[in-house]
Amino acid sequence: MDLGLEGKRAIVTGGSLGIGTAIALTLAHEGCDVAINYRRHDTEAKEVVAKIEAMGRRGLAIKADVSSHADAQKMVQKVVEELGGLDILVCNAGINWDGVIWKMSEEQWDAVINVNLKGYFNYNKAAALVFMNQKSGKIVNVSSINGMRGKFAQTNYAASKGGEISLSKSLARELGKFNVNVNVVAPGLVMTDMARNMPPEALNISMSETVLGRIADAEDCADVVAFLCSDRARHVTGEVIKVDGGQYI
């Protein structure tokens, strides 16, 4: 199915690894020029850009701390200048630093909230200013089913992911009159490096929760994101779409 994304310009935060890489490459495959941000993984970011360019699209890798309001503003401005505009924002960058609340430090709480929630605010705000002026745009924020149901030893992570959902719903209300769609993709467990490094018993528990009996690939999430970035989803906004194989239910 042609999604009609040829020539669109996109930003994917956290695009050097895992789900972010899959999203960036899927959007490029659908015809987008794609800029990714990264913080530490220089080599991986360059590899992603090389793959984007091998598809005949333009790619950018920009080192930027998503928790920095100034970095977000500068990155969006740079993408607009170098790619000639911006049509799509996918916020995906995130971290986890787990622990039960009675052992969780203030540093653990602040670090996760600053990246996962403030980071989304920073980029959603910067992109919203562009989209409002041009009266068009697509925003997809990648959250988690744990932001909807909670998770033992993840009060910081679950709070940040729940906050992303509330941010997105509020922003959908604010930007609707500017022809901007804002939606959320909420994955369950996805087979990324984090999942591969989980203790086998924990991985088996997560797999047993799914009604499909399998763990998602990053591309399963990327395909849904790409759909929401297209005009095939032009009348969808403020929605949370779970990509979890039935893990939530």
Q: Which residues are the active-site residues?
A: 157
In which element (H, E) is residue 110 found? helix 106-113
CB 165 within 8 A of CB 148: yes
Four-residue CA torsion sign, 23, 196, 189, 102? negative
Task: Give the span between the Cα atoms of 179 and 152, in whole angstroms.
Answer: 39
Contacts of 200 (CB under 8 A, 6+ apart): none
- Alpha-carbon radius of gyration of the chain: 17
